Structure 1
Amino acid sequence: MKKQAVAAGFVLFSFMLPTKASAASFDQLYVFGDSLSDTGNIYNLTGKEYPQSPPYFQGRFSDGPIWIDYFGDQLGLKPTLFTTIPSTPIATQGINFAIGGASSGSGNAVVPDPNLPGVLKQVQSYAGTLKANNQTADPDALYTLWGGANDFFFLNPEDSATPINNISLALNTLVKVGAKNILVFNLPDLGKLPAAKIDNRNPTTLSKSTTEFNLGLAKTVSALSQNPNLNIISVDTYSLFNQASALGFTNVTESCLSRLDICDPGNNKFLIWDGFHPTTAVHKVIADAALAAIEAKSVPEPSINLGILALGAFGAIGVLKRQQKRSALLSAGRVVDPQLSYTTVEN
């Protein structure tokens, strides 16, 4: 029970930390992924027909801005959509390559168009362009990578090896071309999403594959983290979604679009917008989680904030209460129990 409380507290307390990141930390923002990070690429490529807007928000797969919008605003960076580069001479703040429906590999799992690159191909194309111009990746830029869900929903729900290999290869490709700061996301429990129960999908299989994928991704991230010159930052959306109710989302089982009688787009307590994608309110929390992760990695030495973060909200509350009690006793000139000076977390 203590272990579960600490794990839950880690997610909750991370949003209580300062999340305003300095724009000076990164000079550009490069985004690779699928519909969870696409701010309009597939919308442009399909003649602004997919996703239908409204009810979707300005070509995004949600009812409002998505995490990269909120995240970019906090960093002071707005990456240019790669589909608009021909009409935008200079992408000074980075590029968003993410495409709705992208598989983890080379193609698109939703839209049958061979010209729509999957996550790995997005990264490889970027790396190829750098190589062709005898360039390396900007070491002061931030690179974000989030993908894999479409493989399980639309390709093969039982094959976790392929998306693990694809995302791992994408990460290693970014490192090889010189990327130093990489933000990588795992997957929420796909078996718990409303879409897991439709189109003959098996929620149990999707949950199992999600766990396998996340474990494989964690191994890759752990291996890359051994490189002292690499700043790889993980965002645990699996834990975040599992704690959605504690974060204030009152409907975590239905999609907002399926309950228009009580759904208020842009201002609601639903976890999921359309069966697959988070509502804009959840995207805001995801952005906060990413910023909190960056904040934590930016502190070179363990501090009281990082110590509390590691303990989690419940462990932290216990620490603070003991510290307050100890201070009160000291101020009263009483003898303090030695146990009050120590904190034990059960693993």
Structure 2
Amino acid sequence: MAHKAICGVVLANLLLQLQIVFAKVPAVIVFGDSSVDTGNNNQIATVVKSNFKPYGRDYYGGQPTGRFSNGRVYTDFIAEAFGIKLTMPAYLDPAHNMTDMATGVCFASAGTGYDNATSDVLSVIPLWKQLEYYKKYQEELNDYLGQEKAETVLREALYIISLGTNDFLENYYAVPGRSSEYSVEEYQNFLAGIAGGFIKALYGLGARKVSLGGLPPMGCLPLERTRNLLFGGGCIEEYNNVAEEFNVELQGLVSKLNNQISGIQLVLSDPYDILLDIIQNPESFGFTNAKESCCGSGYFEMGYLCDKNNPFTCPNASKYVFWDSFHPTERTNGIVADHVMRTSLAGFLVP
């Protein structure tokens, strides 16, 4: 029995080494917010959690994991597309070890943003702290794989950054402070500056392949449409315009950094157009409802308001674009991930 266990460990390590040698992207490393958090918030003192049913009801085993979805999130599908793994482990989850995390890990925290003030609103992990966790992860990977192999993984890994929505919807437009300090345009510039600094910091730590995520049409989230009920419940175009403008600024940042930083491969992964197309033409994608979410009444529930005792949650989330009032369903996440793979990440695939 002991001999079989040892052989199993040796085989697992051999397969890992072969994957590192032959894969163009041997690991996926994620920073961001609830769009990609796979359970880090479970381990911190915050109200921004989703580690209870019905979250995760369509995930493997039907169990909640801390993902803000009925199943997998966007980066789970990206990791699968690269042939790495089906799900992204959360760095703070004690159930995962370096065997799980050597081919990718998630540092994201639901409720956070580029702006430190955004993470302060709901006491979640700020972006700078995610970077500190990543530095610790580097040391752990060195110990696990050895320095040479670890450096190869970190150099060839795909780094995904997905955040920004909370900076506007949960901070700038929701609480006093930043809106009195900055105009919208100034705040966009402020956030883009932080994004650029973060990318440079990652580069300094060895990252070369980086996907910078754009904003979704955030004025069309069910929560925002609910706030617009007096005017018919349509999308809040002001918010959508801000998202579009910010994405243009991020594209400019991507172009600038690609020219300035030797050896970096930086792309903008922009979900705006595909999500807007899904929302405006849900039937074309097999959805029946793009206005309300599946959980609860579909208008305002998320987090603790979206729980197993809510009698109104829909029976089939695959027919809905949104799972709760702020987050897409697993099926929507898969469609967006497929679009991003084809439009911005295809160059990182093994030919």
TM-score normalised to structure 1 length = 0.68
Contact 1:255–1:275 under 8 Å retained in 2: yes
**RMSD (Å), alpha carbons:** 3.5
2:89 equivalent to 1:80 = yes
Matching residue of 2:53: 54
Equivalence map 1:99-248=2 (5 Å): 99-106=109-116, 109=119, 112-113=122-123, 116-123=124-131, 126-127=134-135, 138-157=154-173, 158=184, 159-198=187-226, 203-226=236-259, 227=261, 229-244=263-278, 245=281, 246-248=284-286
> Deviations along 1:275-316, whole A, 9 cap, x unmatched?
211111101112212322466325899xxxxxxxxxxxxxxx
1:45 deviates by 2.7
Give distance in 2, aligned partners of 1:171 and 1:23.
Answer: 26
Matching residue of 1:38: 37
| AA matched with 1:196 | E
Give distance in 1, aligned partners of 2:67 and 2:349.
Answer: 34
Contact 1:104–1:166 under 8 Å retained in 2: yes
Contact 1:34–1:119 under 8 Å retained in 2: no
| AA matched with 1:39 | T
1:203 deviates by 2.3
Contact 2:290–2:321 under 8 Å retained in 1: yes
| AA matched with 2:170 | F
Contact 1:108–1:117 under 8 Å retained in 2: no
Secondary structure at 2:112 match in 1: coil
Equivalence map 1:57-72=2 (5 Å): 57=56, 58=64, 59-72=66-79
Contact 2:287–2:318 under 8 Å retained in 1: no
Higher Rg: 1
Contact 1:120–1:167 under 8 Å retained in 2: no
> Closer, same or farther in 2 for the Cα pair 1:242/1:43, shift >3 Å?
same
2:292 equivalent to 1:282 = no
Contact 1:64–1:266 under 8 Å retained in 2: no
Which of 270, 274, 287 in structure 2 is aligned with 1:249?
287
Secondary structure at 2:49 match in 1: coil
| AA matched with 2:171 | L
| AA matched with 2:222 | P
Higher relative contact order (CA 8 A, sep 6+): 1
Give distance in 2, aligned partners of 1:298 and 1:87.
Answer: 27
Give distance in 1, aligned partners of 2:349 and 2:68.
Answer: 34
Give distance in 1, aligned partners of 2:73 and 2:350.
Answer: 30
Structure 2 runs not aligned, ≥5 long: 1-20, 57-63, 174-183, 230-234, 299-310
> Deviations along 1:46-77, whole A, 9 cap, x unmatched?
59982252121112111111112222233223
Give distance in 2, aligned partners of 1:36 and 1:155.
Answer: 17
Moved more, 228-237 or 34-43: 228-237
Give distance in 1, aligned partners of 2:23 and 2:32.
Answer: 24
| AA matched with 2:41 | I
Q: Greater share of helix residues, 1 or 2? A: 2
> Deviations along 1:185-204, whole A, 9 cap, x unmatched?
10111112222134689924
Percent identity between the two aligned chains: 25
Contact 1:110–1:154 under 8 Å retained in 2: no
Structure 1 runs not aligned, ≥5 long: 1-21, 302-347
Contact 1:183–1:232 under 8 Å retained in 2: yes
Give distance in 2, aligned partners of 1:213 and 1:163.
Answer: 9
| AA matched with 1:63 | N
Contact 2:214–2:272 under 8 Å retained in 1: yes
Q: Give the aligned length.
A: 277
